[in-house]
Structure 1
Amino acid sequence: MIAGAVDTSHRQHPLHERSTDLYAALLGGNGKITDGWPSIDQWADSLETMFENNKGTISVSCAEWGLPNNSEDETQFIKDAIYQAEKSSGVDARFILSIVMQESKGCVRVQTTNNGVANPGLMQSHEGFGSCNDNGLVQNPCPRSEILQMILDGVEGTPAGPGLKALIAQEGGTADVTSYYKAARAYNSGAVASSGNLGQGGATHCYVSDVANRLMGWTDGPSLCAPHSIGQLSAAHWDSDSSAGHTERNGTSTTTTARIFAQTHGSSSSSLSAPSTPIVQSSVAWTSARVSHSSTSLACRRKGN
């Protein structure tokens, strides 16, 4: 339990009591729990729970790229590798899984992306060594050793760039949950923006909000994060079920949040599907956009900066 947690009585119930497709909060600002970001006790209660809830997504994750889906053994190897990486690095296994899901949805044969730096494997690591899809050379089955290497590349880092372990330490260490959120930003884009706002900077603006929601139990339901406006929020705003009529600690009401997004959402990116789904009742409706996985991670990767 991390000291300094804010009152969370208005928020969603624990993971096992709520739908796993629920995107619970728009998480804007700097990642501090005093600004409404989730404390560690609001994360999924264990890797076992979190992994079980993501199994359905993992099992069909490769089909998006026209590749053979994971076998049951390959999926089990991912969990085993995450536990092994947690033991060797001290990085929370739940955080590792959240990055895996954000980067590849758990597809062991995910392709390598390259925007100036090669990002292979389950965690799209910085010039990592592990891959079961090396320039189109697909391994099926994907060996246990290769899956472990993919996870270690992302967690322990590579000679070319840091992994989660070094980035968490760089941002202050595991005693403060904010360090995890900052590390996620740095893992995706190379650095935290000078403003400290985790919805700003390069690469995928919704990355950290998505990762934090995954840690709280979100799996594969609609993302409520609009990439071109999340950076304008200075604090977290929880969904209508948990915060309707609630005024946030910074004095911004959920109705105001709705108005902000109505004014800034604009036209949808070509990579988004945009069902018009209001999530709060207000005089100004705003829409949520489901971001396709390929646009949230594989198509928007760090460039080694």
Structure 2
Amino acid sequence: MGFTHYSGPASNFPGKDQWKSFEQIFNANKASMAATGDTGEDIGRIWNAVVECAKIGVEERVIFAIIMQESTGNVGVRTTYNADGHATAGLMQCDGSPGFPGQHGLSQEQITSMVRAGTEHFKGNLRQFGNNASADCIYKALRAYNSGSVNEHDLSDGRGATGPYVSDLANRLLGRTN
């Protein structure tokens, strides 16, 4: 199913009452993860890592949606570099995250370390916008996670980063896949 484009303030994006459960979102994306070369064990360990790292104070489904947006769940995703030249690695393509480019069959510790780095980074973004579990706070924090700055009047204003990032994440939270 295709993605619907959302833009404008957070109030224009789907409410949490429309989001699918973590299990539904995860199951809808298993084939995409396997297509990256992930083993069945890698996929199971991603689930475990998300559940563990949610204890930091970020919803499982939000963590997993970021994983799918940033790396398609590919535990061996290549390291990229942000506009400042800093390496952004791992499942959540985060500054300071460990990365294992081209590798699969990773340990639970390796996979959890990538998810923890991204979740901790995102938790910092949540703190900027009230540190609560509201959709409003989450959508603004997603914009900050991707671009570092936020136009609260238009969350599709990427300010040099990926414009539809928040819209894409909203679609993933609705259970849609690309």
- SS of 2:94's partner is coil
Quote how far apart the aligned CAs of 1:175 are.
4.3
- SS of 1:174's partner is coil
Quote how far apart the aligned CAs of 1:174 are.
2.1
Quote how far apart the aligned CAs of 1:127 are.
2.2
> Which of residues 31, 35, 40 in structure 2 aligns to 1:72?
40
Quote how far apart the aligned CAs of 1:170 are.
1.1
Paired with 2:153 and 2:46, the residues of 1 have a C-alpha distance of 32
- SS of 2:5's partner is strand
Paired with 2:133 and 2:45, the residues of 1 have a C-alpha distance of 29
Paired with 1:175 and 1:81, the residues of 2 have a C-alpha distance of 20
TM-score, normalisation: structure 2 = 0.93
> Which of residues 118, 125, 128 in structure 2 aligns to 1:170?
128
Relative contact order (C-alpha < 8 Å, sep 6+): which is higher? 2
Aligned to 1:29: 8
Aligned to 1:92: 59
Identity across matched positions, percent: 38
CA distance 1:109–1:175, shift in 2 (3 Å): closer
Q: Given the alignment of the two structures, is residue 39 of structure 1 paired with residue 15 of structure 2, yes or no?
A: yes
Aligned to 1:66: none
Q: Does the 8 A contact of 2:155 with 2:166 survive in 1?
A: yes
Aligned to 1:50: 25
Give the CA RMSD over aligned residues: 1.3
Q: Does the 8 A contact of 1:155 with 1:165 survive in 2?
A: yes
Aligned to 1:141: 105
Paired with 1:102 and 1:93, the residues of 2 have a C-alpha distance of 14
> Which of residues 51, 64, 84 in structure 2 aligns to 1:83?
51
In terms of fraction of residues, the more helix-rich structure is 2
Paired with 1:176 and 1:145, the residues of 2 have a C-alpha distance of 30
1:254-280 CA deviation, whole Å, 9 max, x = no partner? xxxxxxxxxxxxxxxxxxxxxxxxxxx
Q: Give structure 1 stretches of 5+ with no counterpart.
A: 1-20, 62-68, 157-162, 221-305
Q: Give structure 2 stretches of 5+ with no counterpart.
A: none
1:264-305 CA deviation, whole Å, 9 max, x = no partner? xxxxxxxxxxxxxxxxxxxxxxxxxxxxxxxxxxxxxxxxxx
1:22-70 CA deviation, whole Å, 9 max, x = no partner? 42x32110111xx3x21111000x2111100110111112xxxxxxx01
Paired with 2:5 and 2:173, the residues of 1 have a C-alpha distance of 14
Quote how far apart the aligned CAs of 1:111 are.
0.6
Amino acid at match of 1:78: I
Q: Does the 8 A contact of 1:40 with 1:177 survive in 2?
A: yes
